[in-house]
Structure 1
């Protein structure tokens, strides 16, 4: 699947879905952490065990992202309420959706120049 850009924002761009992962610029990542400044592979814990520590590279963004897009794999699952509460206590909201929708949302929101971060679980 190819994702066309709605606009042009600086920084990494998710351009497609390849197998279980995501094409970002010249790389393919099964699990992905992405900010307006950089993208990198991610080996996420099971969703029920996801903690702010596992998202540390995203929370190091200065300023903090407006919110975190959390792609939960092939289907939308809710993250643990404790994770959501911990991120909201830092001023970072969480928008959970399946990882395909999260990849599309990344492109749309970055085209609007929104200062966001995303953590995408691999597709099953």
Structure 2
């Protein structure tokens, strides 16, 4: 029996370009949440619009780390949201989406419970 990295990762980000992400041979052009075994649409387009209600979509899956990709530039959500997530004992890393894609793949390959919330800038 051969074991491939794709079997371990489930959803693996193959490439990222402005406005689109390729995951498991499928191109996506909408904001989304990627987890090793789940892929969800996300309607958030601006980090400042992220509230705890929107974070609940991710938190319900009990990640140990959330990687927030905020488009071409690193932009932080409200401090209260970041503090609330961290107080739950969940790591929250905020970075540009390209870096978030790379980070997600590394952390997922380690077998950790990671969720990448990825905002895409217009193409």
Question: Which TM bucket (shorter chain)?
Answer: 0.7 to 0.9
Match of 2:75 in 1: 77
- Residues 18, 28 of structure 1: 8 Å contact kept: no
Q: Could you tell me how far 1:108 is from its partner in structure 2? A: 1.0
Match of 2:117 in 1: 119
TM-score under structure 1 length normalisation: 0.82
- 3-state DSSP of counterpart to 1:117: strand
- Residues 45, 119 of structure 2: 8 Å contact kept: no
Structure 2 Cα separation of the partners of residues 97 and 75 of structure 1: 7
Structure 2 Cα separation of the partners of residues 74 and 19 of structure 1: 8
- 3-state DSSP of counterpart to 2:116: strand
1:65 equivalent among 52, 63, 66: 63
CA 1:37–1:52 in 2, change beyond 3 Å: closer, same or farther?
A: farther
- Residues 18, 120 of structure 2: 8 Å contact kept: no
TM-score under structure 2 length normalisation: 0.83
* CA radius of gyration, larger in: 2
Match of 1:21 in 2: 20
Query: Which stretches of structure 1, 4 residues or more, deviate above 2 A after TM superposition?
Result: none
Match of 1:101 in 2: 99
Structure 1 Cα separation of the partners of residues 82 and 112 of structure 2: 20
- 3-state DSSP of counterpart to 1:44: coil
- Residues 30, 123 of structure 1: 8 Å contact kept: no
- 1:91-114 residue CA offsets vs partner (Å, 9 max, x unmatched): 212100000000011111111111
- The gaps in structure 1 that reach 5 residues or longer are 1-6
Structure 2 Cα separation of the partners of residues 101 and 19 of structure 1: 12
Pairwise CA RMSD: 1.8
- The gaps in structure 2 that reach 5 residues or longer are none
- 3-state DSSP of counterpart to 1:40: strand
